Amino acid sequence: MKDATLAQPILTVALSETFDLVANMAEASDPRVTLVRPDEVEDPGAVTCALAWRPADDAFDAFPNIKMVASIAAGVDSIMNCPSLPSGAVVTRVRDEEQARMMAGFAVWHVVHHHRRMGEYLDNQATGSWSRKFRADMSSQVPIGLLGFGLMGQHVAKALVALGYPVLAASRSGGASMDGVEIVSGPDAVSRVAGRARMLINLLPLTEQTQDVLNAELFATMPEGAVLIQLGRGEHMVEDDLLAALDSGHLAAASLDVFRQEPLPRDHVFWSHPRVVVTPHKASDTTRHEVLRQLADNYTALVSGQTPPGAVDRDAGY
């Protein structure tokens, strides 16, 4: 590359209100990236790249020449909602095939857990009860609904199809396709998929349009005895509506990996609810090295006049 910007490491400021990104990335390295805290920046005007996760509202005010903001994860909602995000900055997210496979394994585990009633077997083990009374439908009789059909959704779908589950996927664009997956598109795609799914897996990005999408109205459209597997963002779900659907018996169970308040308060009802499986936002992860590698690749593409491979559509929000 002849571009002078790339003749030296990319000076990247780490912006997070809740997380020390520099310390977190200490074990990783990429010779193309120099990661610094805001108070370590000598000339804020020289900073053209940021690595961010839940930045403070005014995080970008001190850095007027930011060209690119890289998320440390697949989600970008906290960056897109930051009031000081420069209007002309390109926002990128991590697109990691290995992370997507990790998500697929996690989602499939929960599908099998609920389909084969593993929770009841574990209860029986605790009491020394040898019970074989549970009968499970064949996989082909258990339609799985996916909300979101991006990289994560496609890997989850592929894994489910391999196990014989019928898969329906709600897709905003309807452009993607996959053998064994019925793509449902249009403004009512989410409710149409939910209405046919014995298990509903949420993998949607968080936008204005998807906030609170998992609500009483949607739960009412789901078949009686259906299961929710919530792997998107905590703000997707109205928690009281889920509790009502579970307590009424309309929904049989829920697996929840994300919550409106994280960490989940110790006295929250989800911890002790007999129909809820709680995990601490660990459905999938990416490596620190991969975060820095993709940041450098995306920035290199940007300053070379190309669209970064991890760029998000700022109008769509993902």
Question: In this structure, are residues 238 and 214 in contact, taking their beta carbons and an 8 Å threshold?
Answer: yes
Question: Which residues does residue 277 pair with via DSSP β-bridges, in sequence order?
Answer: 255
State the DSSP code for 36.
Answer: E
Taking the C-alpha atoms of residue 66 and residue 299, their distance in angstroms, rounded to an integer, is 11
Q: Which residues contact 158 (CB under 8 A, 6 or more apart)?
A: 104, 178
Identify the CA nearest to 191 among candidates 225, 217, 229, 152.
Answer: 217
**Which residue in this structure is represented by tokens 């009633």?**
117
Residue of 115, 155, 233, 236 marked active site: 233
Q: Which of 101, 281, 288, 314 is catalytic?
A: 281
Both tokens assigned to 199? 């298990």
* 281 catalytic per annotation: yes
Positive or negative, the CA dihedral 169, 174, 177, 180 is positive
275 is catalytic: no
- Token pair, residue 155, equals 């890997």
Could you list the active site residues? 233, 281
